[in-house]
């Protein structure tokens, strides 16, 4: 399922209204007072960096699971995947702070089996309880080799909007952009038993560029 990278607009389309609004305010305030406009221009720079969406190149390897987000690894543990039959799974969690890229990308090639939204709270996304108690959106993907991988977008303390563009039946390729979260959050990835983690807690990772784990041999 090798496909060319999707066109990157450099600035995520989700951020265009925010950036246009704050820049317009900054310009108007500048006409009144240059000094008074300084905080607005600084806020404009923050919005610009938050919504950046740089292109990434995916490493090869059919069994590689790629990071779905930029950030820091906050969990590598054996758990139950309640999004796919309460199966045993290896969970790897990536926490995104407000300075990370928040575009979410598919960790594997495959067909989307389900997309499910769960309302919830807005605890700090770095906390373990955020995985099951915060607002979240889960996609379950079956790879061409028959493995099932679950990726869960989890809202954070100040994240108020989870955007997911994948639909049941869609085919995704590694690194394909499928969603976005505003403003600070995490993505949990649930992998089948036998998967080997390639990261440890505390590692900094980049969406698409970093290999999180290796799936077991073909089912």
The tens place of each residue's pLDDT in the chain, 219 residues long, gives 445 445 556 777 777 888 888 889 998 998 888 788 898 889 888 888 777 888 888 888 889 999 999 999 999 999 999 999 999 999 999 998 888 888 899 999 999 999 999 886 666 555 666 567 778 899 999 999 999 999 999 987 665 678 899 999 999 999 999 998 876 688 999 999 999 999 999 999 999 999 999 999 865
Tokens of 81: 């995947």
Could you count the other beta carbons within 10 Å of the beta carbon of residue 8?
14
Residue 37 appears among annotated catalytic residues? no
User: Residue 183, preceding bond cis, omega within 30 degrees?
Assistant: yes
Q: Which candidate in 185, 195, 206, 209 is catalytic?
A: 185
Q: What is the largest CA-CA distance in the chain?
A: 66
CA distance readout (Å), 93 to 69, 76, 151, 185: 10, 7, 10, 11
């Amino acid at each position: 399922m090798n496909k060319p990278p999707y066109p990157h607009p450099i600035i995520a389309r989700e951020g265009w209204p925010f950036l246009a609004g704050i820049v317009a305010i900054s310009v108007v305030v500048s006409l009144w007072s240059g000094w008074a406009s300084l905080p607005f221009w600084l806020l404009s720079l923050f919005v610009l960096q938050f919504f950046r969406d740089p292109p990434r190149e995916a490493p090869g390897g059919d069994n590689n699971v790629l990071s779905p987000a930029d950030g820091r690894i906050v969990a590598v543990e054996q758990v139950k995947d309640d999004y796919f039959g309460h199966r045993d799974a290896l969970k790897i969690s990536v926490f995104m702070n407000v300075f990370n890229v928040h575009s979410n990308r598919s960790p594997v090639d495959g067909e989307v089996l389900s997309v499910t939204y769960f309302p919830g709270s807005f605890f700090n996304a770095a906390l373990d309880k955020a995985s099951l108690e915060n607002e979240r959106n889960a996609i379950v993907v079956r790879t061409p080799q028959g493995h099932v991988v679950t990726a869960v977008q989890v809202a954070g303390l100040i994240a108020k909007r989870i955007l997911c563009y994948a639909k049941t039946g869609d085919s995704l390729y590694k690194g394909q952009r499928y969603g976005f979260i505003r403003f600070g959050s995490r993505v949990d990835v649930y992998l089948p038993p036998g998967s080997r983690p390639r990261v440890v807690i505390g590692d900094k990772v980049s969406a698409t560029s970093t290999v999180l784990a290796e799936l077991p041999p073909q089912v």
